[in-house]
Structure 1
Amino acid sequence: MNEKTLLGIIVPCYNEEAVLPETFKVLTHVLENLVDEQKIDQRSFILFVDDGSADTTWLLIEQKAEKTARIKGLKLSRNFGHQNALIAGMETISRSTDCIITIDADLQDDANVIPEFIDRFYEGCDVVYGVRRSRDEDTIFKKQSAMAFYRLMGKLGVQLVPNHADFRLLSQRAVLELMKYREENLFLRGIIPMLGYPSAKVYYDRQKRYAGESKYPLKKMLAFAADGITSFSIVPIKVVMSIGFLLVLIGAGIAVYALIVWLLDHTISGWTSLILSIWLVGGMQLIAIGVIGEYIGKIFNETKKRPRYTIETATYKTRQEKDS
């Protein structure tokens, strides 16, 4: 066991003023226990990344950082999104830590299993996934939709760890390798399994949110799922193309049927099926344009090569200046 292993815990935050005091307490307690057991270096810390919060989230982080060296803060200039906030934290501390753990501020992921993450790290795992034991507390809709998403992604050839979100450990070499993936449209749950490094799973029971409101309502969850699909597969375009061919065949069949009816002199003025066919084909065309447009939009964003995030300030820089 190497007691000099320096751990950095990254916590993305967006309007989390209600839960932060408890998050400080829980994560600091876990970190100090690991230091006392000599599992990690005493310089290990927790980095809170404020993703453009509109409440007092950053003020709370600043105040706590002034009181303890265990807490550090990184403030982004605006809201760049959860995945970019994680990347900002990783890129900031990747070369100064031996491993990092990412966990959300809402305390739904069980911080008490972090020691198990460290044990798997010492066993040689570069990636340790926190995986929910069950979804019994979820609604039927959320449970079924989540399972359907994992099945769909599997059929699309995307390697995902079912019931795993963004609660994970990454070794320094895994983080540095991850930094080579420069795409604008980030879906870390799909990218990290692609690294191919030795990995393990740690199971835990997901808790109810300690305080505050969920930052992932249904609309955001659906958008996140769509990003995951379109970031890793062109199958949707192929599906649309296949449907197009199918509609052409159906159209040919209708044309043959219409010709037969005309020959038998059974034509009906204002044939309803003609209108239905127009609506069907028109709808499919709009869907096809929308799917292709989604991919073109992603290409557009990638070609601009804008930075994923902008750092406004960081408390640990101030502390380093004082130390010097």
Structure 2
Amino acid sequence: MKKISMLIPCYNEEENIQPISQAVVEVLETQLPQYDYELVFIDNCSQDRTREYIRKVCSANHKIKAILNVTNFGQFNSPFYGMCQTTGDCTITMCCDFQDPVELIPRFVEEWEKGYKIVSGIKTSSKENRLVYWMRSIYYKIIKNMSEVEMIEHFTGFGLYDTSFIKLLRELKDPLPFIRGIVAEYGFKRKDIYYEQPKRRAGKTKNNFYTLYDAAMLSITSYTKVGLRMATFLGFISSIICFIIAIVYLVLKLVRWNDMVMGMAPIAIGVFLIGSIQLFFIGLLGEYILNINKRIMNRPLVVEEERINFDEVE
């Protein structure tokens, strides 16, 4: 009997733990009874009653498992680590807040049985904030054009992954895993399933400007060279422009010595313009260095505090 692993990362999702576990188990047991299953929660050190509810659902069903982290390891490390701990023939990852429809689970499995190694859930629209969705669309367009790898637009990681892909993840040993980039980079046989993203069932989104910026910088510094190349080209072009302007001012001053009053405005504008360009690219260069630094330190993806039901005999 083949086994389906469900992975649900969570952080402060006390209102959603029991409903999502019930919904997923119901789909698996009623629509996919020919498969064995496990449902794995990985909690990123929630500060509410999330862990209390996780323990309740784990005690009620020993096929529901949990990994509890000692602290919050971020929105990328924890799900990636959880995927590497699953034991099924395929692993389906989804959010805890019902924004990834549980109704798509049978469809994912159907496509997997046709031979696809990855089945990706792609958002066509969202019932959440339209401005955020629009900004995400712009980001995906930019990163897709900048990257040497063909990035997948509006793919958040929701999907099914064959055990062969999970094996690859275990072998990567990447201290800064970006699952969307990894899926695009390694070119496994993939099927895209399109859906409209519903609203959160309960609770508040954990994404904010910092987390979205962090995701953007991780993708840019991991999968593009455009930032550094742009700094080189822009620096070269601006230096040529400044040289030409300097020659023009020198000639005008020599030809019209008494009438040509230079003043401070050109100097101030030039200093601030060049200075702002330099600061921007120093910051961008710092992002690349930060990426390199984290990879060199090679810290563990996650440190576990507790595991629940992993020792159960199935």
TM (norm. structure 2) is: 0.94
Q: Give 1:139 deviation, angstroms.
A: 4.2
Say which of 179, 193, 207 aligns to 1:202: 193
Residue 104 in 1 paired to residue 101 in 2? no
Q: Who is 2:261 aligned against?
A: 268
Q: Who is 1:142 aligned against?
A: 132
Q: Who is 2:22 aligned against?
A: 25
Shift of the 52–189 alpha-carbon distance from structure 1 to 2, 3 Å rule, reads: same
Q: CA deviation digits over 1:256-309, x for unaligned, max 9?
A: 121122122233253301111001111111122111111111111111111111
| Paired residues of 2:63 and 2:309 also in contact (CA < 8 A) | no
- Say which is worse superposed, 83-92 or 140-149, in terms of deviation: 140-149
Q: Percent identity?
A: 27
| Paired residues of 2:149 and 2:184 also in contact (CA < 8 A) | no
In structure 2, distance between residues paired with 1:233 and 1:141 = 26
| 2:39 partner SS | strand
- Say which is worse superposed, 237-246 or 265-274, in terms of deviation: 265-274
Alignment of 1:232-251 (within 5 A): 232-251=223-242
Q: Give 1:207 deviation, angstroms.
A: 0.8
In structure 1, distance between residues paired with 2:157 and 2:312 = 29
The one-letter code of the counterpart of 1:221 is: L
Shift of the 294–122 alpha-carbon distance from structure 1 to 2, 3 Å rule, reads: same
In structure 2, distance between residues paired with 1:255 and 1:224 = 42
Q: Who is 1:46 aligned against?
A: 39
Q: CA deviation digits over 1:230-278, x for unaligned, max 9?
A: 1111210110111111110111121012112212223325330111100
Q: Who is 1:34 aligned against?
A: 31
Q: CA deviation digits over 1:192-235, x for unaligned, max 9?
A: 12222211011222110000000112332122112111111121
| Paired residues of 2:14 and 2:49 also in contact (CA < 8 A) | yes
In structure 1, distance between residues paired with 2:94 and 2:83 = 12
Q: CA deviation digits over 1:146-185, x for unaligned, max 9?
A: 2221221221223222121111100100111122222222
| 2:98 partner SS | coil
Residue 217 in 1 paired to residue 208 in 2? yes
Alignment of 1:1-324 (within 5 A): 4-36=1-33, 38=34, 40-41=35-36, 44-93=37-86, 96-135=87-126, 137-156=127-146, 157-263=148-254, 264-265=256-257, 266-317=259-310, 319-320=312-313
| 1:17 partner SS | coil
The one-letter code of the counterpart of 1:24 is: S
In structure 2, distance between residues paired with 1:209 and 1:296 = 36
| 2:66 partner SS | strand
CA RMSD across the alignment = 1.6
| Paired residues of 2:16 and 2:202 also in contact (CA < 8 A) | yes
The one-letter code of the counterpart of 1:169 is: L
| 1:258 partner SS | helix
In structure 2, distance between residues paired with 1:139 and 1:205 = 13
| Paired residues of 1:31 and 1:45 also in contact (CA < 8 A) | no
| 2:7 partner SS | strand
| 1:240 partner SS | helix
The one-letter code of the counterpart of 2:304 is: I
Stretches of structure 2 lacking an aligned partner (at least 5 in a row): none
| Paired residues of 2:123 and 2:154 also in contact (CA < 8 A) | yes
| 1:147 partner SS | helix
| Paired residues of 1:174 and 1:195 also in contact (CA < 8 A) | no
